[in-house]
Amino acid sequence: MPLPRTRGTALRQRLAELRGPDVPAKALDARALAALAANPGCARRAILDGAGVNKTALASALGSPSAFGQSQFALTRGNAFEAKVKADGGAELLRLVHEKLDRSAEPPSDARVPDLTATGPQGRTARTELELREAAAHPGAWTLLDHPMLALDVAGSPAFLEPDAVVVHPDGGWTVVEIKSFPLLDGSADPAKVGAAARQAAVYVLALEEVAARLGAERGGAPAPQVRHRVLLVCPRDFSNLPAASAVDIRKQRAVTARQLARLTRIEDIADALPEGTCFSPELPAEELTAAVESVPATYAPECLSACELAFHCRARSRQEGAVTTLGRPVRAELGGLTTVEQVLAAARGEAGDPDDPAVAALRRAAALRAEALEAACR
């Protein structure tokens, strides 16, 4: 939801100060928005992304450069695969959508593939919306939008997003298509990669829902086009270059991402809690920058390694503090109020902790069993 004008202006000014003088804002893309949903509790990431800070440059300035992003080889391979999937007017892609998501519809032939070229992201967004309106006005046919552009309001500013494709079904429903270069082996793929793709698709679905709501309002009471919550993930089959597809239910990711984006609009609260003069400009000396970054609470988890440019920095800090979050969220959840490795060991040794606390009791039992086993092994 856009921020009220004066509040929005003041917030934008505050975020520009945090970014640093003359540092341009880094636009949020679907990958960044999706990664936010992977670690919804992290205030550090929320404020850095909200302020448009370039986290890759920040991580380098902190002395912990990220090993994040795709290699040139992977990008080239991914582009070649996508071109193959979309060849011949998207015939194979549409066949996969029909097979996996809409078998009861007429098989796609003579699908419309409108030209979406326009000047600038605003122009491309308007062009995409025009074609979606056109498709909604003439149901009964398949339409393939190749690299449409969508806008999503994030903390008062539009983020421009570019899904690989959106397909309009003959019944008027819209499906997001994600084309990835990781393989589908025997019909399944790396769950972490599928999860990241699903979160990314959820961002596109939210943006499409805003378009659908606008078109619905224009139609004066007629139902808005339905944005389907099952997306199509297209990947190379096994180790070949042949496409295989899987329908992915993204309802959960959509709900988490929507919650997280609503929370992003409260970055004002995080900004207000920062010390006066805080600035994340990569031009600052490393010491000053480290203090600025450390002034925002973070919730490091191993998942950050595949989702956030600051992961090496936050992991090092987390390890220094002996935080149990470095061991992963499931372990963290089991340990209740024990937040450091030191506290866990003291509780296991019986030197600290409430014996009635189930986590403390389980640790003492585990320590006793270990001592017993070691004693037996030494006999």
Considering only residues 270 to 299 of the shown chain, the ones binding ligand SF4 according to CB under 6 A are 298-299
Query: Phi/psi of residue 198, each to 5°?
Result: -65, -40
Q: Cβ closer to ligand SF4: 151 or 307?
A: 307
List 232's β-bridge partners, or say none: 177, 247
List 150's β-bridge partners, or say none: 161
Q: Cβ closer to ligand SF4: 33 or 308?
A: 308
Look up residue 36 and give its two tokens: 């936010």
Does 323 help bind ligand SF4 (rule: CB under 6 A)?
Answer: no
The CA distance from 60 to 289, in Å, is 11
Site string for ligand SF4, 9-48 (x = CB under 6 A): ------------------------------x--x-xx---
10 CB-near residues (< 8 Å, 6+ apart): none
Q: Which of 300, 323, 338, 363 touches ligand SF4 by CB under 6 A?
A: 300
Q: Where are the beta strands (DSSP E) in the chain?
A: 143-146, 150-154, 157-161, 165-168, 174-179, 230-236, 243-249
Q: Which of 23, 308, 347, 363 touches ligand SF4 by CB under 6 A?
A: 308
Q: Which of 132, 194, 267, 304 touches ligand SF4 by CB under 6 A?
A: 304
List helix spans (H) across 5-119.
5-19, 30-38, 43-50, 55-61, 72-85, 87-101
Q: Closest distance between ligand SF4 and the C-beta of residue 296, in Å?
A: 8
Q: Which of 184, 311, 323, 363 touches ligand SF4 by CB under 6 A?
A: 311
Strand 174-179 to strand 230-236: parallel, antiparallel, or no bridges (unpaired)?
parallel
Q: Closest distance between ligand SF4 and the C-beta of residue 201, in Å?
A: 20
Q: CA-CA distances (angstroms) from residue 341 to 47, 321, 324, 331, 361?
A: 28, 9, 6, 11, 16
Q: Closest distance between ligand SF4 and the C-beta of residue 89, in Å?
A: 41
Does 314 help bind ligand SF4 (rule: CB under 6 A)?
Answer: yes
Q: Closest distance between ligand SF4 and the C-beta of residue 267, in Å?
A: 13
Q: Cβ closer to ligand SF4: 40 or 172?
A: 40
Q: Closest distance between ligand SF4 and the C-beta of residue 15, in Å?
A: 16
Q: Closest distance between ligand SF4 and the C-beta of residue 59, in Å?
A: 9
The residue to which tokens 């640790």 are assigned = 363
The CA distance from 12 to 10, in Å, is 5
Count of residues in contact with ligand SF4, rule CB under 6 A: 12
Query: Phi/psi of residue 56, each to 5°?
Result: -65, -45
Q: Closest distance between ligand SF4 and the C-beta of residue 298, in Å?
A: 4
- Binding residues vs ligand SF4 (CB under 6 A): 39, 42, 44-45, 298-300, 304, 308, 310-311, 314
